[in-house]
Structure 1
Amino acid sequence: MQWGDLADQPCSFSRTMSVIGDRWTLMILRDCFMKVRRFEEFHERLGIGRSILTDRLNKLVDNEVLARVPYQQSPLRYEYRLTQKGIDLHPIIMGIVHWGDRHIAGSEGRPLLHHHTTCGHDFDPLLTCSHCGGQVDAREVTISPGPGARGDAHMPPVAGRSPARSAR
């Protein structure tokens, strides 16, 4: 499978990776959640080449993850703000951060703490069930085709489910 083919796959993970799946895009998104908005700020913080930064920002704008908003008229300059679609990526970014905090932060501990302003405490992100509110662990999840699955979609057999049910 070619990188460009990801957007056409009948899989939400593949389609998402086609938008945010490279390291520079993820670093740009991290910085967006840290309130970085201007091209020069991204360039300085990330040390990324200008053409690569332009390409990744344009891709995020084209996919409506970021909006380009003018902040200066003469000369015209823009900043990049997260759209609702972009804000909805927060759990993904926090999941990556949490994994890094747990597994590769080192003996010094977490480099950054995340503070929940509503309750006033530092927190760890948790995945919860939208139905019961309970914490979700990967070992407690099964997968089956949804309404957007195509007939040619490859669904591996799911443990504990009959092949007929998995093929639906």
Structure 2
Amino acid sequence: MRWEELDQQPCSLSRTLAVVGDRWTLLVLRDCFLGVRRFDQFEKRLGVTRHLLADRLKKLVEHGVLVKVPYQQRPLREEYRLTERGLDLHPAIMALVSWGDRHMADERGAPIRHIHKGCGKVMRPVMVCSECAEPVGARDVRVEVGEGWQDAAGVLFTPAAR
């Protein structure tokens, strides 16, 4: 499978990675969730070239993850805001942050604390079942093939047994 063909795969993860699956895009998204909105702010925080940053922002806008909103008319200046589609990436970003806090932090601990506004406590993301609200881990899920999982020839793939 070629990187350029990920969006054509019969796999939701492949299609998602085609949009958000490189390190600069993930860091742009991280900064969006931290309140960064303007091109020069992204550029300064990330230390990335203007061309690369413009490319990543354009892709996120094209896929409806971000929207450009004018904040000044003369000259026209726009900022980038998360759309509902973009906000739906929050659990994925939080899961990656949580993994990094657990496995990549140094002896000082996590660099950022996430505070739940509702209770005021430091929180960590927990995946729960949408039906019964019980916590769900990798060993708690069985995978079955869905109707959308077919290759180009129409052959239904079968997930590997575990």
Same fold (TM over 0.5): yes
Q: Is the Cα–Cα contact under 8 Å of residues 19 and 60 in structure 2 kept in the other structure?
A: yes
Equivalent position of 1:123 in the other structure? 123
Q: Is the Cα–Cα contact under 8 Å of residues 64 and 83 in structure 2 kept in the other structure?
A: yes
Equivalent position of 1:33 in the other structure? 33
Equivalent position of 1:67 in the other structure? 67
TM-score by length of 2: 0.95
Name the aligned partner's letter for residue 55 of structure 1.
D
**In the alignment, is residue 84 of structure 1 matched against residue 84 of structure 2?**
yes
Distance in 2 (CA, whole Å) between partners of 1:157 and 1:48 is 39
TM-score by length of 1: 0.92
Q: CA deviation at 1:153?
A: 4.2
Provide structure 1 residue ranges, at least 5 long, that are not aligned to the other structure.
160-168
* Cα RMSD (Å): 1.0
Q: Is the Cα–Cα contact under 8 Å of residues 149 and 157 in structure 2 kept in the other structure?
A: no
Equivalent position of 2:95 in the other structure? 95
Q: CA deviation at 1:142?
A: 1.5
Q: CA deviation at 1:140?
A: 1.2
Identity of aligned residues (%): 53
The size of the alignment, in residue pairs, is 159
- 1:95-139 superposed Cα distances (whole Å, 9 cap, x missing partner): 000000001101111100000001111101001000110000101
